[in-house]
Amino acid sequence: MAGRYDRQLALPQIGPEGQRRLAASRVLVVGVGGLGLPAAAWLAGAGVGQITLVDHDRVELSNLHRQVLFTEVDLGSPKVVACARHLRALNPEVRVVERPERLAPGNVRALVAAHDLVLDCADNFAATYLLSDHCRALGRPLVAASIAGSHGHLGVFCGGAPSFRALFPLPPADAPDCAGAGVLGPAVGALGLLMAQEAIKLAVDPAASLAGRLLVVDLWHTRTSLLDFRAAPEPEPAETVAILGTPELTPEDVLVDVRSPPERAADPVPGAVTAAPRQAARAVFFCATGRRALAAAVRALAETPGRPVGVWLRQPGEAPAPLASPGACG
């Protein structure tokens, strides 16, 4: 009987040594949606040693047009559980770890440190900056891709290449995302598969990867371009927005709540203001997911270049120190 990996073992780029390297690699997949689901499935097929899935969402009907490895049976299940079930059925040799939680300042460092490479399949810039900061600090390669409409990009950052912040120091103040812009399944799936391809190259032959390059695609007009950012300098901290967890807040920070009045009433944060002050103190913006907060921080930085700004990725109910009790929420 032919073996599971015969067809990739036959490749000169893989062979027995490459297969051993794949089996020894631990890959962190952040976001199990249109990008992360196919990326994880193809990595499981290839025999990656460990795949850890991080996502706090559940499978919804509006996911199925592009997240086609989920089925109607999975509706309502945590995405990491439904995806893990699929991966284990596909290849029981792969260790699959389910983390049904949101990527946050409190868990990102340990997650990145416990893996050899990271796939950013999330759908917001705050998560990408958080992953980039920690991948850079820990020397882990980061494969990051995004798509909105038919416009997408994919690059390999950190681990010797410049970080995502070197390429994009600031996000747009009004970034479209796939919820806002819409997306077609094959377009996002194609980028997800290219992420898996980069992950395999990073595991077996990093020199062949897209490290320091950005693939830019328009998959409606089928236009592509490959841009080289290996010489891009890292930005000064004053030119960027810090992504902060509760322990990183200081008593001097001015917390700016950019949520709607009903959200504020339902989950108040004592001491927060609702508009950025003019004073020199660091303005730290927060909302429910970080999306609106990051846009507000970018606008504040545009109004006053060089002023210290940050985004607090706050969990529901969380309060700044000294009210916070680390570890109490388990």
186 binds other proteins (CB under 8 A): no
> Residue 318's closest CA among 295, 288, 281?
288
Compute the distance between CA of residue 275 and CA of residue 285 in angstroms, rounded to an integer: 9
Compute the distance between CA of residue 147 and CA of residue 177 in angstroms, rounded to an integer: 7
> Residue 57's closest CA among 67, 48, 49?
67
Given candidates 223, 247, 271, 329, which one binds other proteins under the rule CB under 8 A? 223
Given candidates 15, 76, 172, 326, which one binds other proteins under the rule CB under 8 A? 172
Q: Which is nearer to other proteins, 18 or 152 (CB)?
A: 152
Smallest gap from residue 154 Cβ to other proteins (A): 10
Compute the distance between CA of residue 125 and CA of residue 154 in angstroms, rounded to an integer: 14
Smallest gap from residue 169 Cβ to other proteins (A): 7
- Residue 199: CB atoms within 10 A of its CB come to 29
Residue 26, strand partner residues: 50
302 binds other proteins (CB under 8 A): yes
Compute the distance between CA of residue 113 and CA of residue 138 in angstroms, rounded to an integer: 7
- The number of CA neighbours under 13 Å toward the Cβ of 23 is 12
Site string for other proteins, 36-75 (x = CB under 8 A): x---------------------------------------
Site string for other proteins, 111-130 (x = CB under 8 A): ----------xxxxx--x--
Binding site for other proteins (CB under 8 A): 31, 33-36, 121-125, 128, 145-149, 151-153, 167-172, 175-181, 183, 188, 191-192, 214, 216, 218, 221, 223, 225-229, 231-232, 298, 302
